[in-house]
Amino acid sequence: MSGLYIRKFIDRLQQAELKGQKDFVCPLADAKNLHNDITRLLLDLEALKQAAEQPPESVTVELEGGSF
């Protein structure tokens, strides 16, 4: 996940703050791309959370001495 549009939004917001702007306007295409990045991020986070909640796989190892 690149998060390109999240970083772009943060950069544009910081620039607006530095310039003392009171309003921030975002083109609809950028807003949609930001929405997509945030949605992907949340889906990835949910998948990681579910993977962490699964019980660990158990492994059984049997050792035999044979004729030792």
Write b or e for each residue in 18-52: b if 16 or more Cβ atoms lie within 10 A of its Cβ, otherwise e: eeeeeeeeeeeeeeebbeebeeeeeeeeeeeeeee
pLDDT in tens, 14-58: 999 999 999 999 999 999 999 999 999 999 999 999 988 877 788
With a threshold of 0.85, does the pTM exceed it? Answer: no
Nearest-angstrom CA–CA distance, 12 and 19: 11
Neighbouring residues of 9: CB distance < 8 A, sequence distance ≥ 6: 26, 30, 34
